[in-house]
Amino acid sequence: MAGHDLNATPRLATKAMLKHDNVREVELLLLPERVVLLNKSGAAILGLCDGSRTVRQLVDQLEHDFEAADLESDILSFLDDASGRGWVVVT
Residues at the interface with another protein (CB under 8 A): 13-15, 17, 19-21, 23-24, 28, 30-33, 35, 86
The CA distance from 18 to 30, in Å, is: 6
The CA distance from 18 to 39, in Å, is: 12
Nearer to another protein by C-beta: 51 or 86? Answer: 86
Shortest distance (Å) from residue 17 CB to another protein: 5
Nearer to another protein by C-beta: 24 or 64? Answer: 24
Nearer to another protein by C-beta: 21 or 65? Answer: 21
Provide the 8-state DSSP code for 69. Answer: S
Shortest distance (Å) from residue 82 CB to another protein: 15
Provide the 8-state DSSP code for 36. Answer: E
Question: Looking only at Cα atoms, what is the longest distance across the chain?
Answer: 38
